């Protein structure tokens, strides 16, 4: 629809570990931008006309904005605790609305069908009741006490366990997932989905993780997450309508959808409509 309200938000535009002095061109909300490594060793982002754009370097990625962000990039305090392995998963391009990519990430009901025998399994398809809220002070969507039976919850899990999740949406195209951590009961693994909106129907997805796992080789951690995400890709590319409908009544919510309903409501309240569909078609 419009990119007005979303224009002042931060978006991921590249991996810090892969910056090149000559730079790389990419799209942000329809605009061509160049992401490069400056002579001072810092990331630089500019429009093709050479106009510099705001830059933040955090969580393994370069973040930028076409507008003027009113706030710094959201905090993930847990991710900066020492002792975690930080995993750059890379990028996957998906022909879908950036908002659809986030919404799918929030949906646990698809686990047994799409991530069969890994994140879910038949006949354990029941979603137990959990709590969803829009936290007004932080201005974020949160879902807590989400419990689900998982055959292989993480690379480090050796058998089926009931996993607890918390989901958080701190920015229109980013979601942070906190998940029971098999090797360290009491701590949460952090798994994020950072989505770069290229256009309203095309996005680059940059998953990133901060895990307590000292044993699994880095490549295995990357592959596990890529495997999970690629199981979603063809489904995301075939969703109808292509843009995320924000008007209530278009899809009938089940319990699993409550987070998605809150997410849509929060987007609508802020006028975050880039990649959204407002009128039922």
Using CB under 8 A, which of the segments 15-23, 73-81, 131-139, 190-198 binds other proteins?
A: 15-23
Q: Is 222 a residue that touches other proteins (CB under 8 A)?
A: yes
Is the peptide bond prior to 241 cis by the omega test (within 30 degrees of 0)? Answer: yes
Q: How far apart are CA 191 and CA 193, in angstroms?
A: 7
Contact residues for Fe ion, defined by CB under 5 A: 232
- Residues 6+ away with beta carbon under 8 Å from 51: none
- Residues 6+ away with beta carbon under 8 Å from 186: none
Nearer to other proteins, 145 or 254 (CB): 254
User: Are 24 and 34 contacting, i.e. CB atoms less than 8 angstroms apart?
Assistant: yes
The contact mask relative to other proteins for 224-253 (x = CB under 8 A, - = no) is --xxxxxxxxxx-x----------------
Return the residues of window 52-111 that contact other proteins according to CB under 8 A: 88-93, 95, 104, 107, 109-110
Q: Is 259 a residue that touches other proteins (CB under 8 A)?
A: no
Q: Is 254 a residue that touches other proteins (CB under 8 A)?
A: yes
DSSP letter at 176 equals E
The binder of 27, among Fe ion, other proteins, none, by C-beta within 5 to 8 A per type, is none
The binder of 254, among Fe ion, other proteins, none, by C-beta within 5 to 8 A per type, is other proteins
- What is the DSSP pairing of strand 61-64 with strand 43-47? unpaired
User: Are 137 and 281 contacting, i.e. CB atoms less than 8 angstroms apart?
Assistant: no
Phi then psi dihedrals of residue 265, to 5 deg: -65, -45
Which residues contact other proteins by CB under 8 A? 15, 17-18, 88-93, 95, 104, 107, 109-110, 113-114, 116, 122-123, 125-126, 204, 217-220, 222-223, 226-235, 237, 254
């Amino acid at each position: 629809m419009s990119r007005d309200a979303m224009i002042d938000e931060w978006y991921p535009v590249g991996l810090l570990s892969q910056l090149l002095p000559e730079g790389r061109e990419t799209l942000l909300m329809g605009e061509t931008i160049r992401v490069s490594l400056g002579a001072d060793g810092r990331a630089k982002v500019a429009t093709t006309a050479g106009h510099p754009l705001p830059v933040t370097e955090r969580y393994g990625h370069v973040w930028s904005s076409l507008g003027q962000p009113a706030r710094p990039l959201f905090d993930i305090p847990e991710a900066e605790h020492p002792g975690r392995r930080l995993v750059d998963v890379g990028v996957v391009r998906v022909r879908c609305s950036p908002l659809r990519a986030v919404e799918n990430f929030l949906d646990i009901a698809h686990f047994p069908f799409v991530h069969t025998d890994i994140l879910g399994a038949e006949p354990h398809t029941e979603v137990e009741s959990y709590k969803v809220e829009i936290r007004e002070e932080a201005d974020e969507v949160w879902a807590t006490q989400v419990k689900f039976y998982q055959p292989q919850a993480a690379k480090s899990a050796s058998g089926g366990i009931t996993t607890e999740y918390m989901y958080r949406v701190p920015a229109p195209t980013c979601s942070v997932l906190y998940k029971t951590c098999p090797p360290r009961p009491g701590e949460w693994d952090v798994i994020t989905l950072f989505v770069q909106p290229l256009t309203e129907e095309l996005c680059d997805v940059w998953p990133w993780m901060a895990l307590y796992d000292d044993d699994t080789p880095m490549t295995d951690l990357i592959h596990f997450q890529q495997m999970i995400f690629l199981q979603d890709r063809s489904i995301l590319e075939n969703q109808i309508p292509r843009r995320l409908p924000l008007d209530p009544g278009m899809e009938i919510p089940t319990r699993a959808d409550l987070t998605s309903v809150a997410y849509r409501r929060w987007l609508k309240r802020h006028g975050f409509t880039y990649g959204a569909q407002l009128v039922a078609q």
